[in-house]
Amino acid sequence: MWITILVVLALIEVGLPLLLFLVRDRVTFFPSTRPTPEEGLEWLNGRTEVALIRIPRPDGRELAAYDARPAGAEGPDTPVIIFFHGNAGNIASRAPLLEAFVAGTGVRTLLFDYSGYGGNAGSASEREVYLDGLAVYDSVVEGGVLAEQIVLYGESLGGAVALAVAAQRPCVGVVVQSSFASLSSMASRVYPWLPLAGLLVRGAFPSAERVGELECPVLVAHGARDEVIPFAEGERLYAAARPGAEFLRVEGAGHNDFFVTAGAAYLGLVGKRVRTWTGHGGVSSGE
């Protein structure tokens, strides 16, 4: 009997982590094809100007994106936030949030969908979302925006993508909200009874390592009551950043209600940081 129990436990401790590793993209990314990007535009109330655009990748595929601008946001000297959303939903489901975000920060913002999201061709993986982010960044620059005016904003898993792009492209600042130190760290917290799970994904989404290499300003924001990505992950990410990084604890905020709880004061703070960073013109040491 004891041998049987030990065999079952061994199968669980080894087999389940291996299974999670094999289907890691399916348990990491939760793309939605509906509502469509066009349908998302119908939910806007006109507070900002939002246009649906298509951004080409080097392989010929296109990514749907919303280009949202406050009044008077034009020219190469105008700050631009590239917004990297989390692992679930799509840009259409975030259309009202985008409008409120732009109205609250006063900054032109580009919100795009990853491969496999919102009707985009392809499927999401760590490699693919990095390529998506780089394609969007390069498109913004090719459109005439200076690197000194670009800020990367990453929400949840999008924080890891934003940091990956910042490691390869110059930007003036990065905001990482409700994100994690690494996928391995998250796996260890979610599956503490499966130590092999964290080991198998070691090296995936190494945000703590990347944030420590950035020379540009970094703001890490995290809800104190985050039930999806523990607050300690945000603290760990901030601890890995270079001196001068800023940490913002948002009391009462969970994961999915972060913007509602943080409110206008948070958006105003982000807008203020963006204007300060772009006004000083400091640039990270991306390749």
Instruction: Show which residues are catalytic.
Output: 156, 226, 255
CA distance 111 to 92: 10
Question: Smallest Cα–Cα separation from 222: which of 261, 184, 248, 260?
Answer: 248
Contact 84, 135 (CB under 8 A): no
HSE at residue 45, side-chain half, CA atoms within 13 A, is 7
Task: Write the CB contacts of 46 (distance below 8 Å, at least 6 apart in sequence).
Answer: none
Please answer whether residues 151 and 278 qualify as being in contact, where contact means their C-beta atoms are separated by less than 8 angstroms: yes
Q: Is 127 exposed, middle or buried (0-12, 13-18, 19+ CB in 10 A)?
A: exposed
Q: Please, what's the b/e burial string for 50-83 (b: 16 or more CB within 10 A of its CB; e: otherwise)?
A: bebeebebeeebebbbbbbbbeebeeeebbbbbb
Alpha helices in the chain (DSSP H): 2-22, 24-28, 37-41, 95-105, 126-142, 157-166, 183-190, 195-200, 207-211, 231-240, 258-280
| Cα Rg of the chain, angstroms | 19
CA gap 268, 73 in Å, rounded: 17
Nearest of 104, 52, 47, 113 to residue 82 by alpha carbon: 113
